[in-house]
Amino acid sequence: MSWIAYRRDAFLLTWSISAFVLFLGSIFYGLYAAMPDRVPAAIGTTGIVLGFVLCWSAARQFRSDTVPVRQTLALATVVVVSQWWLQLGGLVGLMVILSNALAMLLLFASAWEYWSARSERLYSLKWLTALYILVGFSFALCIIPLAIETPLYMDRAPNNWAEMLQMIICIICITAIGGLSLAINQERVVRDRTVEARTDGLTGVLNRRAFDDFSQKREPKGDTVVVIFDLDFFKVVNDRCGHAFGDQVLRSFASVCSASLRNQDVVARIGGEEFAVVLEDCTVERAIVVANRIRLRFAKQKLAYEGQPVRCTVSAGVCGSPPDEPRNIEVMLSGADTALYRAKQNGRNRVCHFEMSLVAA
């Protein structure tokens, strides 16, 4: 049901299938415990380990957004062949030991997949990783008494302290894993919708709403510079070449702008053809250099309409915040807008500084 509401996270479907396979395997293993027979034992251990194969597949799918079909089929083949080969040979004890070892390795591998996705910064990920590791250790504990006390030709299900502990851990932890998988899905939904609400759909940079939120929440401090870029004669380009080409021009500039800035810098589309950039820990002189670099790179973009090259340029206004006189973003934005107006008056395709009207053509 969660997947139907938000179909990106198909790993939920894979995990649900794995939970169902684990459920079926547990039923057959319970039949083996109640009525010792090698066939239910083999079906039970095979089903349980196949369930953990699918758990690993869901974890890999979560991290990479693709189902590892070949690896999953290969692991499933190894599980089925090994379990039934040992069952046919009457080595039920070794079959149970191997099933515990395979389950342990698959659980640890699943934990690693989720841990490898920690860059997503989802709160539930660390708990999900810990639960997989805990369940994996419960299977590891079961191997010890089985290897010491149980003969290879086992005629009944093992019943010892490790088995009881494992049962308790699995009931609690696998239920919690299901809940956390749903929680991660919801975290992703909230995060993605937040990003969508803050991102300009055409260019991929921040939109005006997100920029205004950033401006209001940021405390005034020195060594910050605001730059406003405005595409020259953009309305003429739109009218002559059409909106589709105009959209291409906007995307091209946003790409050049993002590629020319540091990770800590902020870029947003604040109007139709107007972009704002906030440079932290930057002097005005350095900001002018950056703005000119963006201007020159954009002018060199190979844009063409109906096979004919179209040269597009941009003008910019720069306004800084001196270290001894911190200014908020709104004040600097107003100063940068004034400098941009001067750049337009002086012929466009240039950068002007608010304080001294420095023109860099």
Examine the domain organization and report whether 167 and 49 are in the same domain.
Answer: yes
Examine the domain organization and report whether 46 and 101 are in the same domain.
Answer: yes
pLDDT confidence of residue 357: 40
Tell me: pLDDT of 319 over 90: yes
Question: Domain total for the chain?
Answer: 2
Examine the domain organization and report whether 131 and 228 are in the same domain.
Answer: no
Examine the domain organization and report whether 43 and 191 are in the same domain.
Answer: yes
Q: Which residue has the higher pLDDT, 8 or 85?
A: 85
**Structural domain that includes position 64:** 2-198
pLDDT digits (tens, 9 = 90+) for 257-305: 999 999 889 999 999 999 999 998 888 999 999 999 999 999 999 899 8
DSSP assignment string, 112-163: HHHHHTGGG--HHHHHHHHHHHHHHHHHHHHHHHHHHH--SS--S---SHHH
Tell me: pLDDT of 358 over 70: no
Q: Which residue has the higher pLDDT, 219 or 165?
A: 165
pLDDT confidence of residue 361: 40
Read off the tokens for 222. Answer: 């020195």
**Quick check: 44 and 22 in contact, CB under 8 A?**
no
Who's near 6: CB < 8 A, 6+ residues apart?
A: 185, 188, 189
Is this model's pTM higher than 0.85 or not?
Answer: no
Percent of the chain at pLDDT exceeding 70:
95
The three-state secondary structure class of 221 is strand
Band of residue 9 on the pLDDT scale cut at 50, 70, 90: confident
Mean pLDDT over each residue of the chain, to the nearest integer? 89
Examine the domain organization and report whether 193 and 246 are in the same domain.
Answer: no
Examine the domain organization and report whether 241 and 352 are in the same domain.
Answer: yes
> Which of 136, 168, 198 is the C-terminal boundary of a domain?
198
pLDDT digits (tens, 9 = 90+) for 105-142: 999 999 999 999 888 888 889 999 999 999 999 999 98
Examine the domain organization and report whether 71 and 160 are in the same domain.
Answer: yes
What CATH number corresponds to the domain at position 239?
Answer: 3.30.70.270
Examine the domain organization and report whether 177 and 284 are in the same domain.
Answer: no
pLDDT digits (tens, 9 = 90+) for 212-255: 999 888 877 778 899 999 999 999 998 889 999 999 999 999 99
**203 falls within a domain:** no
- Look up tokens 């027979």; give the residue: 37
Examine the domain organization and report whether 219 and 187 are in the same domain.
Answer: no
Examine the domain organization and report whether 188 and 236 are in the same domain.
Answer: no
State mean pLDDT over 330-334.
91
**14 falls within a domain:** yes
